[in-house]
Structures are given as C-alpha cells and as structure tokens.
Chains A and B, each alone.
Chain A
C-alpha cells in the first residue's frame, strides 16, 4: 500500500492545481525535451530551480518530495557508478581492472541531476492533478491521432471506467478479506498451502464480483444506447485560461533558451 502513496494526488487549491491538465502535461513534455537536450550544469540548475519554485507554489510538502527521491536512490547510484567507471579520462580511483574517472564522475552527477529534475516534474504533475483530469488531458492531447484511425476514445473509455471502479474494487477486496477472517481464514499462517487457500478465498469472490459487475455495466451502457462516440461534455470541461497561456509561454521560453545557452557555452 505504501507504493500507492507515491505520486498520489494531494488535494490543494494553488495556481499549479488550477492549471489546465493539458498545460501541465505539455510543460512536463517540454521539460523532458530540454533536460535531454542539455548537458550544461548551469542550465540544469535553472531547471531545478524552476521545479523547486513549482513545488513551493503548489504547497507540496518538501519532506514528501525528499522521501520520494530517496526511494529511487538505487537507480541514482547505479547511474552515477556506471558513468564514473565507464567514461574514459583522468583516473581518480582504480579497483582491479576498472578505473573511476574525473570526467565520469562529472557526467554521472549531471545525469543524476537530470533524473531528479524529471522525477520531480512527474511528481508535481501527479500530485496536483486528479487522475480524472489527467486522463481527460491525455485524451485531448492524443485526439489528433483519431485522424489516423487510432481509437483514442475507446482507450479513454477504458481508462475512465478503471478510474471509476478502482476505489470500489479496493473497498470490496478489504470487505471480503475481513469476511473470510471472520470465518477463520489465516492470512498470516506459516504454512504455504493454508496461506494460498486463504488468498483464494479473496481472489475468487472478487473475480466473480467483477464478472457480474461487467455484465451489469454492459446492460446499463446498452440501455443508454452506448456507441463508442467521443464525449463532448468531457472534452469541453477543460478550458485554457490566461494563467495557462502564461505558464506555457514562460516554460517554452526557458526551454527554448537551451539553444542559445548551448551555443554560447561551446
């Protein structure tokens, strides 16, 4: 369950929360591009500052962000070590046949910085946007793909039904678990067979319930003339406002700055 908490939406009412999900998604994509395109330390520090500003203005708990970054520490460490040992250059440390180089360390640090920036960006997106808004945003952005016969709408329907029923499913699972415990199921038994049987007592009814729900849902949708047809009200529930334009323009400027910066720094 602790895994689920990572990047979970946190209710809030800041400027960042109020931005259109499309704005936030596009900003994130822009950030990814600029992070990929640049190796300049100062430029990356600028982006880091941008992320920190976003976190502060969204009033996210910094402690939580640090904790989240700490959770990917192994990934960061591996990146650093790989770069440090595999990049040729001036040796700092030699272990057997492999050597750690100064250039490698520098490159590794920059890559860590890049990863952290990307990670922070996606955390900000997830923590300030409800899953529903996020999926509408993705659907709107992918909309043009319908022109080349990719069924974006069906995909979006599946996504939205999952969002609708995920909480119900969790609730159901916890009720069934408690009900089986009341009949003596031992979920913490040391015997493997007993344990497996106990979990079967959850999974089977859960599966049955989902099947019957799928049947019911099908009937309810058919009764209301379901056709796989884009959802106008949903599409129109999003509105770009002044703040969105402002955010997009400023992020674009920062991102585009990568070009002159990298030319100048050469």
Chain B
C-alpha cells in the first residue's frame, strides 16, 4: 500500500537562471505511512520549509513527483485543493492572525471549506479545546488582547479546525515556554492515538525523539538521513555533525561509555541512567574489595 506521502526524486531550484539561483532541494525521496509522526531536522537554510510547502500545494514540483493522500501535487487542479488535506502551520503563526475575534480567526479555515455555520461552530469549539483555550468568553476576545503564547495557540487551532488528514508544523515550539511546548506535544500524541499523520520541523531532537516514528535530516537540500530514531542513535557521527543535542542523560552515558567503561547505553530515561551509573559504581566497589590495587594498571 502506498504511503500517505510519497516523494520521489524531488528537486527544487529558486530563481533559476538568475544570479540569485538557489538549489533548495536535491533529489529527495521520502515516504510516510498514515498515522506516522515524521520529525524533520536540518540547519537553517537546508530546505525544510521548501520541502513542506510541496506537501500542501504551495510549491509545485519542478522535477520529481510528490503524491499526498493519493493526489498528484504537480497537477494544478489537484494541488489547488491540497490545503484541505495537508494543513501547514507556518513558523510564528501568531504573526498571521488578522480577524477581529478569536472565533472568526479559528473559523476562517472551516468557512473557506464552505461548511455550514453550525459545523463551523462545532469545529471551532473542538479546536479551541484541543489547544487548551477553554475559558468561557475567549471566543469573543480580540486576538490582539492575548499574549504571544496564547496567540500561537489560536493560530494552531485555526489549522486544527480545518481537520486536515496530515498536520504539518514548521518549528511550532520556537520561543514557547514549557507549558506551550507540552501543549503541542499533547496534540501530536493525541493525533498518534487516533492514527492521524503529523509532520513537524524541529530543532530539538531530545524533545520529540520519544514520539517520532521517523526522522529525516536535510542538509543543503539533500536528504542526509532518513529512518527510525533507533537507527539515528546508532550513528554518533551524524549526531555530532549536526550538533544534535541528545537528552543530557544519554550524552552522559555515551561519554562514560566512550571513556571505556562498560555501561548500558540503550536506556530511555533519566532514572535509568542514574541507576546504570550507580550499578557501575557498585561493581567497581565490589571489584575493589575483591582485587585491591588492580585498577592502577587501567
């Protein structure tokens, strides 16, 4: 069965033929199954935003093919309506708010779907619920009266209300405090439970590594890695090259292992790390007790 996203040999060049030409994507081949969560990584300017704009029809493929929800994105008639299938939330979406009330802002997408007002109402309330905006009178407030974090939630709700099959988020956690970040992670978890597809551009491996089904790394437009988190953790040279910050407990365990100690590195929580280190210490003490002086030769 073909995946919900099928990208084949996709390349993209901005301003082709001019002195300002940029080769933003080079021969990308990537696919995603329905219900999976893809984490998309890469340094600034590596082509992440360009790639995800192919998924909702904003950019049509120049070379190669993109098929989303079974629809060919290079077909201009199909790609026009792709925004309904693949909902793309841009970076800093709070800067794209323009309606006079929170309600109208969230309702903008569903109204563009030409839904009846009762259905719109239902979707708006549901979406606001999902992003944790449940205060009684919030729908009538002007978005300008809200703080930046709240506005971000409103903007995300605006996309959720469209109920796209694929939700694509471009660095949704940038600048958010821990409460806001957890809200985003909760939305993704719930989508996974409902077997819905999510793509997220991120800079923080440690934040989403426990959730992602698949990771792709772009570098200067090329796909430098794609696969499962486990495969990535087994490639320290890639981790180091892209300065991925592993969770601190993993960094410590890896470094201890690198110094020649026999420590289990296949762990998934701070607690386990603490236990492993203590275990090591215990072994060491026991050994000391049995064979004093032996370790001088280490």
Contact = CB atoms under 8 A, between A and B. Distances in A.
B58 interface: yes
Interface in A147-200: 175-176, 178-186, 200
Interface residues of A, number: 19
A209 B95 CA distance: 7
Contact of B83 (A184, A201, A204): A184
Contacts of B95: 176, 205, 208-209
A180 B96 contact: yes
B174 to A, nearest CB: 14
A11 interface: yes
B90 A179 contact: yes
B58 A178 contact: yes
Contact of B112 (A176, A184, A204): A184
Size category of the B interface is 20 to 34
B153 interface: no
B158 A183 contact: yes
A10 to B, nearest CB: 8
Contacts of A186: 112
Interface string A1-28: 0000000001100000000000000000
A183 B108 contact: yes
A183 B98 contact: no
B109 interface: yes
Q: Which of A180, A183, A186, A209 is most buried by chain B, counting CB atoms within 10 A of its CB?
A: A183
Contacts of B87: 182
Interface in B11-65: 19, 53, 56, 58
B107 to A, nearest CB: 11
B112 A183 contact: yes
A184 B86 CA distance: 11
A165 to B, nearest CB: 15
5 contacts: A11-B19, A180-B96, A182-B56, A184-B162, A200-B98
Interface of B: 19, 53, 56, 58, 83-84, 87-91, 93, 95-98, 108-109, 112-113, 144, 158-159, 162
